[in-house]
Amino acid sequence: MAELILVRHGQANSHATDEASYDKLSDLGHTQARWLGEHMRATNPHFDHVITGTLRRQKETAASMGYDDTRIDGRLDELQYFAMAAALEAEHGIGMPTDPTEFAAHLPQMIGYWASGRVKGVPEPFAEFYGRTNGLINELCKDHGRVLIVTSGGVIGSILRQVLQLSDEGMAKIMLQVMNSSVHRLSYVHGTLMLGSFNATPHLDIPGREHARTFV
């Protein structure tokens, strides 16, 4: 059996307007990751492998959790939201969101255009993104062991799209719900990849940590 523990990175620079400035943890993001690492060491600390993408916020999350010896795999890198949103605006006149309410409507719309091939000037076609993220998961399912995967919300949405056979809209809704430093457990048993838990934040359920439950 393979057990895959997916973790979304801690809160990044939520005031960013481009990919580069977004790609670093906030002080709260480091704290979220540290608390999660403490929780894991107190419960079930062993992992056969720890894997992150190449992005700074993913690697910083693993390090703040206490995992410095990681394997880097670019297939865990996030979709490039700002570049995709710019392409959507240029090609279809759909403007960038300016607040959380607008973002909650914009993301599913953007995913729909992207997945159906109706926006061309994107850094990566949807089929390539979906293929690379789930390609890694399918490889890991061939081996036994327990693997910690530190990645991003769009990657987690893509993986759960395969596991739960979601629509494009369903994938977008999943992405909107994935909290910073949340935990998602998958098990590969009897030839089937199954979801064991979604969006768990036991390290943030402690009284006094309500402020640390963030989505952006």
pLDDT in tens, 153-172: 999 999 999 999 999 999 99
How far apart CA 184 and CA 152 sit, in angstroms, is 12
Q: In which region does residue 96 sit, left (phi positive, over 0), alpha (psi from -120 to 50) or beta (all else)?
A: beta
Which tokens hold the place of 189? 């048993």
CATH number of 40's domain: 3.40.50.1240
Q: Within this chain, do residues 41 and 90 fall inside the same structural domain, yes or no?
A: no
Range of the domain at 153: 2-78+126-212
pLDDT in tens, 9-64: 999 998 888 899 999 999 999 999 999 999 999 998 899 999 999 999 999 999 99
Read off the amino acid at residue 79. L
Q: What is the mean pLDDT of residues 55-83?
A: 97
Q: Within this chain, do residues 111 and 92 fall inside the same structural domain, yes or no?
A: yes
pTM of the full predicted structure?
0.96
- Number of domain units in the chain: 2
Q: What is the dihedral of CA 18, 21, 24, 29, to 10 degrees?
A: -70
Q: Within this chain, do residues 58 and 8 fall inside the same structural domain, yes or no?
A: yes
Closest by Cα among 87, 75, 36, 57 to 155: 75
Helix, strand, coil: what percent of the chain each, to 5? 50, 20, 35
